[in-house]
């Protein structure tokens, strides 16, 4: 028996602008539930949808009421911008007839262009098969689908596979942690955004409140952003170009800063490649580790090197450079690295080309040292290939 008592709630929608990075224009809005406090202040009503004080049925009724009001208001706003509606998988689980969805009925009632509506799937709960089925119905009517809080708890990769979302919204807490502290959190965010790009999804960063968070979102290749840096949720829709000048100024600052960083990276990489060529020349015959130690490897980010044959087998020890000395490590001798991209890519080059210029791997975090590294590969001769580990230059 349900003994919950419904508090007197009068919820209504506010709308937070979503900014397109390339155009600087408002490309859409997210509808968010609000309530008026006794003192007249407008407060978030989101906590009611996770409250134990009201039943699931009552929560659904409140949610649909806010959604209905939001769509009714949206009918008064012409143009191409979209409206994002949050829908919990818990609500979807209760639906008996997938062909009769409340949101679609509301859209038909208001005769709204369904291509301007995005359904944001919140939380990680719910039956995945039913969720995928409902998403197909939404799509068949022209709606787009977004996954909210991507990277929260676990990465929700099963949802990406099942739903093929149009939009992925990064988890706000993960995004903020990565933008402030970097490190592993930053690596995870870059990996998630690369995944989103590979699957054809657009990326939205929400909770953007500072210039630095805006710059980090740009470095993540975000297509859209929302947050207090531009605007909180507001009761009325705004002119599309309200924040265009602000966005343009931020983009210019990002470009200036990033170009300066890239120039430094390029200069450092030129020096590293020059040292690799010197090392290549020194290894053409028997080499003296003490003589090699005199070269400025460590201060230029070179960590070590080893040699493989054309089959990928490591035929030398690993020589690691630390505190001005080369240290010989036999542990990985006879390991085979033919499956690494930096190895088979050098084999695919013409011999002269493979001897002339080292090629670089993608950045990876070394298991033993926890350093972010890259591996450069270059041919020594027709039989031997030189592999050089360096510190990676990240964003």
In a domain, 19, yes or no: yes
Q: What is the pTM of this model?
A: 0.85
Average pLDDT over residues 362-371: 82
Terminal-residue alpha carbon distance, the chain: 57
- Average pLDDT (346-373) is 89
> Tell me, what's the pLDDT at 77?
92
Q: Give domain status of residue 5, yes or no.
A: no
What does the pLDDT average to over 133-155? 85
**The CATH number of the domain where 185 resides is what?**
3.20.20.450
Taking residues 123-144, report their average pLDDT.
86
- pLDDT average, residue stretch 33-48: 91
Determine the structural domain holding residue 47 and report its residue range.
12-242
Residue 133 has pLDDT above 50, yes or no: yes
Q: List Cα–Cα distances, 208 to 119, 148, 153, 166, in angstroms.
A: 21, 15, 20, 21
Q: Return the CATH number at 305.
A: 3.30.450.20
Classified as helix, coil or strand, 20 is strand
Q: What is the CA radius of gyration of the chain?
A: 27
Mark whether 285 and 228 lie in a shared domain. Answer: no
238 domain-assigned: yes
Residue range 26-40, pLDDT digits in tens: 999 999 999 998 888
pLDDT the model gives residue 124: 62
The arithmetic mean of pLDDT across residues 200-205, rounded, is 92
Same domain, 151 and 40: yes
In this prediction, residue 391 has a pLDDT band, given cuts at 50, 70 and 90, of very high
Same domain, 288 and 235: no
pLDDT at 8: 65
What's the pLDDT score for residue 215? 97
Residue 5, pLDDT > 50, answer: no
Clarify whether residues 37 and 118 are in a common domain: yes
Answer yes or no: do 149 and 273 share one domain: no
Q: Are 346 and 378 in contact, with CB atoms under 8 Å apart?
A: yes
Judge if 31 and 145 occupy the same domain: yes
Pairing of strands 384-391, 372-379: antiparallel
pLDDT for res 123: 62
Per-residue confidence (pLDDT) for residue 192, from 0 to 100 = 85
Q: Are residues 30 and 154 in the same domain?
A: yes
Over residues 45-73, mean pLDDT:
90
Decide if pLDDT at 76 tops 50: yes
Under 8 Å between Cβ of 9 and 35: yes
Q: Cα separation of 252 and 112, whole Å?
A: 37
91 and 220 fall within a common domain? yes
pLDDT exceeds 50 at position 223: yes
Helix/strand/coil percentages in the chain, nearest 5: 40, 25, 35
Q: Where does the pLDDT of residue 7 fall: very low under 50, low under 70, confident under 90, or very high at 90 and above?
A: low
Averaged pLDDT of the chain: 89
- pLDDT for 2 equals 46
- Same domain for 191 and 340? no
- Mean pLDDT lowest among 128-132, 205-209, 211-215, 266-270: 128-132
Asked whether residue 253 is assigned to any structural domain, the reply reads no
Asked whether residue 275 falls in the same domain as residue 128, the answer is no
Is residue 227 domain-shared with residue 276, that is, in the same domain? no
Q: Three-class SS string for 257-296?
A: HHHHHHHHHHHHHHHHHHHHHHHHHHCCCCCCHHHHHCCC
Residue 172 falls within a domain, yes or no?
A: yes
248 lies in a domain? Answer: no
| Band of pLDDT at residue 75, cut at 50, 70 and 90 | very high
99-117 per-position pLDDT tens digit: 789 999 999 999 999 999 9
Give the mean pLDDT of 277-289: 85
Domain end position, chosen among 242, 275, 302: 242
> Is residue 370 included in any domain, yes or no?
yes
C-alpha dihedral sign at 174, 180, 184, 188: positive
Average pLDDT on 262-277 reads 93
> What is the reported pLDDT for 245?
97
Q: What's 191's DSSP letter?
A: H
Which phi and psi (to 5°) does residue 83 adopt? -120, 125
What per-residue confidence (pLDDT) applies to 130?
85
Report the share of the chain in percent with pLDDT over 70: 95
Convert the pLDDT of each residue in 233-253 to its tens digit.
999 999 999 999 999 999 999
Q: What is the reported pLDDT for 1? A: 41
């Amino acid at each position: 028996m349900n003994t919950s008592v419904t508090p007197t709630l009068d919820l209504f929608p506010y709308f937070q602008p979503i900014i397109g990075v390339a155009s600087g224009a408002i490309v859409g809005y997210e509808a968010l539930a609000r309530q008026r406090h006794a003192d007249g202040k407008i407060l978030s009503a989101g906590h009611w949808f996770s409250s134990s004080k009201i039943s699931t049925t009552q929560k659904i009724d409140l949610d649909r009421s806010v959604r209905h009001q939001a769509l009714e208001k949206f009918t008064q706003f012409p143009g191409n911008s979209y409206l994002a509606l949050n829908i919990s998988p818990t609500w979807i689980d209760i639906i008996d007839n997938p062909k009769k969805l409340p949101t679609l009925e509301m859209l038909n009632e208001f005769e709204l262009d369904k291509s301007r509506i995005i359904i944001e799937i919140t939380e990680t709960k719910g039956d995945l098969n039913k969720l995928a089925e409902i998403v197909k119905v939404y799509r068949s009517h022209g709606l787009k689908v977004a996954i909210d809080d991507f990277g929260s708890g676990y990465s929700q990769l099963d949802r990406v596979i099942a739903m093929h979302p149009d939009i992925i919204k990064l988890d706000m807490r993960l995004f903020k942690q990565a933008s402030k502290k970097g490190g592993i959190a930053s690596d995870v965010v870059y990996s998630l955004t690369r995944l989103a790009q590979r699957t054809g999804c657009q990326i939205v960063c929400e909770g953007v409140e500072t210039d630095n968070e805006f710059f980090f979102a740009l470095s993540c290749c975000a297509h859209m952003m929302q947050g207090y840096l531009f605007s909180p949720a507001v009761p009325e829709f705004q002119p599309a170009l309200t924040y265009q000048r602000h966005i343009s100024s931020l983009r210019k600052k990002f470009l200036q800063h990033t170009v300066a960083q890239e120039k430094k990276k390029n200069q450092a990489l030129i020096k590293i490649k020059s040292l690799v060529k010197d090392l290549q020349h020194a290894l053409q015959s028997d080499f003296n580790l003490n003589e090699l130690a005199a070269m400025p490897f460590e201060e230029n980010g070179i960590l070590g090197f080893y040699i493989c044959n054309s089959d990928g087998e490591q035929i030398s020890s690993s020589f690691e450079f630390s505190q001005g000395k080369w240290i010989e490590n036999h542990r990985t001798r006879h390991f085979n690295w033919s499956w690494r991209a930096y190895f088979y890519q050098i084999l695919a080059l013409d011999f002269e080309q493979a001897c002339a210029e080292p090629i670089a791997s993608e950045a990876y975090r070394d298991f033993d040292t926890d350093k972010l590294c890259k591996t450069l590969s270059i041919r020594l001769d027709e039989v031997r290939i030189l592999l050089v580990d360096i510190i990676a230059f990240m964003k």
